[in-house]
Amino acid sequence: MKKVPLYIKIIAGMLAGVLFAIVAIQFSGGVKFTRDWIKPFGNIFINMLKLIAVPLILASLIKGVSDLKDISKLSRMGLRSVVLYLFTTVFAVCLGLVIVNIIKPGASISEETRTQMLSAYGGDANKKQQEAVQQQGSGPLKFLEDIVPDNIINAASTNSTMLQVIFFALFLGISLILIPAERAKPVKDFFDSFNEVILKMIDLIMKIAPFGVFALMAALVAESPGFEIFKALGKYALTVLIGLVILIFIFYPVLIFLFTKRNPIQFIKQVYPAQLLAFSTSSSAATLPVTMETVEKRVGVDNEVSSFVLPIGATVNMDGTSLYQAVAAVFIAQAFGMDLGLTAQLGIIVTATLASIGSAAVPSAGMVMLVIVLAQAGIPEAGLALIFAVDRPLDMVRTVANVTSDCTVATIVAKSIGKLEDPHPVV
């Protein structure tokens, strides 16, 4: 019997949760039953995602940075790769912020629904809003001061100081690069293994995702005074898709044309096998072998470039994930009636960019990293319940953006160092 894909199970869990809630609210005590006996399982699922946020950022970011060891030997190729990857990631985050501020998907929720949401999700939102007000009264360099921790144990003990954890992980990863390889090897081997363990934990958590989504959606529908939340959720999904489509079919082809003078439409035709596999697997890592074969045989990138640039991209370059995190963060803030100022949104750019470096190249890891972005921006993490139901379908599309970005950067780098050949025509 053919195994049912996880995303199908998650969608089924979402629909089952909605149907269960619709039936439950028809009976006296149905809402209370859902709140007391179903919602806690959704909260447990969200807590499990939050549980591994700090270990994931430590393991993935330290591994990702320390894997760049060879850049010192291949400085010409390595520096261009990293600069291009950072540029595309920052652009993706900024694009997401621009689109979500124009469409405002969370602003369509009425004040009555918003009040009920604030009540349902406890003092979390009110606490975050009070912290945001206190932050506004701080000095102009307070955000910079807050990035550097005075105690990494304290910083790692709460999800609200994720930038401090990221700073430590980057600091440690860079330090591993700068010491002799034989001295760094034991520490690097530890974090490589630790990263594998964390990825397995994500895999185990995602196995219960359909049940978590069922509980989250059942509670969301049962406690909601109307269906306008789902209209807002549809607008949110559309906002993310618009941003991803702009990245895949406009931004990357334009970069190809500007830097390689190639036909951008032809480029999209050349890389579609990798895009197709990325869509079906939702994993840049799983797609990597096909991505390498595609850019070498269909685009004309030399193996010396593809074998260096693409593995780095699969580790640190997550444009689609970064865009989604920016949109999701602002959407949740809008849904809770929070007004994110310029400073908070600049913080999202920094956090989403750095978090994308530590985002594992496996399905739904971006949802875990979103915990970091929300916590740092002072946005209620309980808002994850609003968007998790539609996360997996969007994850498939944003993986396409991630892989297309990798192909784009590899092609541009190959062209810049004279390692790009004429490809075979693609019909």
Q: Delineate the domains of the chain, giving CATH numbers in brackets.
A: 6-416 (1.10.3860)
Q: Tokens for 55? A: 């270990």
State yes or no: pLDDT of 427 exceeds 60: no
What angle in degrees, to the nearest 10, is found between the helix axes of 209-223 and 181-207? Answer: 60
Strand ranges for 198-292 from DSSP E: none
Q: Tokens for 158? A: 């709460």
Residues 351, 369: contact at Cβ < 8 Å? no
The Cα 244–Cα 153 span in angstroms is 37
What is the average pLDDT score of the chain? 81
State yes or no: pLDDT of 401 exceeds 90: yes
| Residues 6 or more apart in contact with residue 318 via CB below 8 angstroms | 89, 284, 356, 357, 359, 361, 366, 402
The Cα 325–Cα 102 span in angstroms is 16
Higher pLDDT, 135 or 47: 47
The separation between CA 386 and the C-alpha centre of its own chain, rounded to angstroms, equals 16
pLDDT tier at 226, thresholds 50, 70, 90: low
What pLDDT shows up at residue 135? Answer: 47
Which amino acid appears at position 133 of this protein? V
What φ, ψ does residue 420 adopt, rounded to 5°? -110, 120
Residues 118, 379: contact at Cβ < 8 Å? no
Give the mean pLDDT of 239-246.
Answer: 96
Give the mean pLDDT of 62-83.
Answer: 71
pLDDT tier at 19, thresholds 50, 70, 90: very high
pLDDT tier at 224, thresholds 50, 70, 90: low
State yes or no: pLDDT of 268 exceeds 90: yes
Q: Tokens for 337? A: 């009636």
Model confidence pLDDT, tens digit, residues 134-181: 544 555 566 567 778 899 988 888 766 767 887 898 889 889 988 988
**132-139 long-range contacts, Cβ below 8 Å, gap at least 24?**
132/338, 132/344, 132/378, 135/343, 135/378, 136/341, 136/343
Q: Tokens for 217? A: 């959606």
The Cα 408–Cα 413 span in angstroms is 9
Burial of 12 (0-12, 13-18, 19+ CB in 10 A): middle
| Residues 6 or more apart in contact with residue 36 via CB below 8 angstroms | none
Tokens 């950067």 belong to 409
Which amino acid appears at position 103 of this protein? I
Dihedral sign of CA atoms 367, 368, 369, 372 in order: positive
Q: Tokens for 346? A: 């600049």
Among 314, 282, 285, residue whose Cα is nearest residue 400: 282
Burial of 102 (0-12, 13-18, 19+ CB in 10 A): exposed
The Cα 159–Cα 297 span in angstroms is 44
Dihedral sign of CA atoms 45, 46, 49, 51 in order: negative
**Which has the minimum average pLDDT: 114-118, 298-302, 318-322, 358-362?**
358-362
Other C-beta atoms within 10 Å of 252: how many?
Answer: 25
The Cα 271–Cα 253 span in angstroms is 11
Among 421, 22, 362, 72, residue whose Cα is nearest residue 206: 362
The top-scoring range by mean pLDDT among 130-139, 223-232, 394-403 is 394-403
What pLDDT shows up at residue 132? Answer: 47
CA atoms within 13 A of residue 203's CA, in its CB half-sphere: 9
What pLDDT shows up at residue 72? Answer: 52
Q: Tokens for 109? A: 């929720």
Which amino acid appears at position 238 of this protein? L
Which amino acid appears at position 332 of this protein? I
What pLDDT shows up at residue 5? Answer: 72
